[in-house]
Amino acid sequence: MSPEEKVRLTHIVEAATLIASYINGVSKEAFLRDPMRQDAVMRRIQIIGEAVRHLSHQVVTSIPDFPAKEARGMRNVLVHDYEGVNLERLWDTAVQDIPAIRNAVEKYLRPDTGGNGWEKLKERIPDAPPIPGDELP
């Protein structure tokens, strides 16, 4: 993994962490009535998709359960078909898919799984909420 790819992976985790903070304690109904929150989530998903686009095939395929194709696809919808964004799908993505992406990348970056970027990542986002079912080191 190149240093640039490690930075891109860190950006993915940071964006996913911010999405989690944007929707924490917010109901689906409240989210669907809040254009500012929707825009914030969309922007972070765009960042995730763009970061994924710059990862090598080798890195992408070495991260188990990493939906790279889907992340790039969602970014493309948000950027190029912004009028057709399905806000219910956006909510589902934020609640279901983004935590899975974060989990996959965090595990990949951990030293005990062969990665070596976890300590630096932990320094950059010390208050990251834990992923349910996965205690952080």
Q: How far apart are alpha carbons 129 and 110 in whole angstroms? A: 17
Q: Which of 11, 75, 102, 110 is catalytic?
A: 75
pTM of the model: 0.77
pLDDT digits (tens, 9 = 90+) for 73-86: 777 677 776 677 88
Give residue 22's pLDDT: 95
Give residue 125's pLDDT: 54
Q: Which of 80, 102, 110, 124 is catalytic?
A: 80
Residue 102 is a catalytic residue = no
Residue 75 is a catalytic residue = yes
